[in-house]
Amino acid sequence: MNEERYILFDQYLQGELTVDEKANFEKQLSEDQEFSAEFEAFQIAQQQLENKFGIAAAREAFKENLMKISDNHFNKNKSKVIALKPWNYAVAASVVLLVGLFFFNYTQKPIYEEYSEHEQAYFTERGDVNTALKQAEITFNAHNYKAAIPHFETALKESKTPEVQYFYGISLLEDNQYKKAETTFEELRSGTSAYKYKATWNLALSKLKQKDYIGCKEILRTIPQDYEDYVEVQILLRDLR
């Protein structure tokens, strides 16, 4: 896909094409399978851009980079005259980001770090807690997962609750102790606590972190639509296609 085609796609979506240009564009969509597939991919990439950054902000941020790209790309192709309106620079600025977003999302599989935003642990707000659990909370919330593990293990010997198990499992996962993490999540998954589907989600993330994409998808498909973060489930399933 090239820059000129990106701009054409954006012009169509922004309603900037003339009646004849729009008719020709839609005719090509219906007749050219490759063109249609590229347009669909562009729409998905643009939607992701809008969701993650806000397209107006992204365009503004990339204007400076665009000027360099314009000099290197458009000017060296002097046999092709491309009349860019002033607003085209803002449009093409988003193209710069979309190119990277497109290739990142469609030539690579999703990675664990994109989905591993863990909620913080709050045990001490509930009154008296033992020293080990307090230290587990502090180290977990500081993202010092390796240090949190022995504190969780001590706390679990005194009181084995689904909540403590859940955060213990995340600590194990972050420390790449996959077997122990998955055993913990499987136990929660087979139960009926409020952490049942949170554990299932993190079990899927464990597979993702290990690049077991098939296993990840199989687990994700067991999560029901009433799960509070089901949108994330759908997004990851889509990115695993």
Residue 178 burial (10 A CB sphere; 0-12, 13-18, 19+) = middle
Label residue 62 by pLDDT band (50, 70, 90). Answer: very low
Instruction: Output the pLDDT for position 211.
Output: 94
**Can you give the chain as a three-state secondary structure string?**
CCHHHHHHHHHHHCCCCCHHHHHHHHHHHHHCHHHHHHHHHHHHHHHHHHHHCCHHHHHHHCHHHHHHHHHHHCCCCCCCCCCCCHHHHHHHHHHHHHHHHHHHHHHCCCCHHHCCCCCCCCCHHHCCCCHHHHHHHHHHHCCCHHHHHHHHHHHHHHCCCHHHHHHHHHHHHHCCCHHHHHHHHHHHHCCCCCCHHHHHHHHHHHHHHCCCHHHHHHHHCCCCCCCCCHHHHHHHHHHCC
Average pLDDT value for residue range 197-211: 97
C-beta separation of 160 from 151 below 8 A: no
Tell me, what's the pLDDT at 89?
47
* Mean pLDDT, the chain, integer: 80
Q: Give the lowest-confidence range in 50-59, 126-135, 161-170.
A: 50-59
Q: What is the CA radius of gyration of the chain?
A: 24
Question: Quick one: what percent of the chain has pLDDT higher than 70?
Answer: 70
Phi, psi (rounded to 5 degrees) for 126: -95, 20
172 half-sphere exposure, CB direction, 13 A CA radius = 22
Look at residue 127 in the predicted model and tell me its pLDDT: 57
More confident residue, 143 or 87: 143
Is it the case that residue 73 has pLDDT exceeding 90? no
Amino acid 156: pLDDT:
95
d(CA 68, CA 76): 12
Residue 105 scores a pLDDT above 90: no
Q: Which fold is adopted by the domain 113-239? A: 1.25.40
Could you state, in order of their start, the residue ranges of all structural domains in the chain? Answer: 3-108, 113-239
Calculate mean pLDDT across residues 106-128: 80
Res. 230: pLDDT tops 80:
yes
In this prediction, residue 66 carries a pLDDT of 47
Between 67 and 45, residue with greater pLDDT: 45
Q: What is the pLDDT of residues 118-133, one digit of tens each?
A: 999 998 665 556 789 9
Q: What is the pLDDT of residues 14-37, one digit of tens each?
A: 888 899 999 999 999 998 888 887
Average pLDDT (200-204) is 98
Instruction: State the pLDDT at residue 1.
Output: 44
pLDDT of 96 = 52
45-49, 124-128, 171-175, 232-236: segment of lowest average pLDDT = 124-128
